[in-house]
Amino acid sequence: MEERTEALSSNGIYLAANTPPASPMDFQQGGHQSRQKERGHKHVRCEKAAAYRRIKVLEAELENCKKKAERLKTRLFAMVSHITSYLNTE
């Protein structure tokens, strides 16, 4: 163990002798992705698209519920005004 620490501390000679060569430039610039990373990115894109589709469906459903609530509100006011006018005539 002492030999190793001595070798590491002696001006980096051990490190220079045992360090692998540098990677090509295209790899360092991001020209290559692993299969797992590409598959993960594809999965993220699919999930994002599905989320947008789900949002679109929910927005349409919300719009329908708002229209229905407005119709029922109008019907209720008409009923209340009819009952009020009926009670006032008696």
For residue 18, give every residue at least 6 positions away whose Cβ sits within 8 Å of its Cβ, in sequence order, or none.
none
Predicted confidence (pLDDT) at residue 16 exceeds the cutoff of 90? no
Residue 86: the pLDDT is 87
Predicted confidence (pLDDT) at residue 41 exceeds the cutoff of 70? yes
**pLDDT band for position 59 (cuts 50, 70, 90):** very high
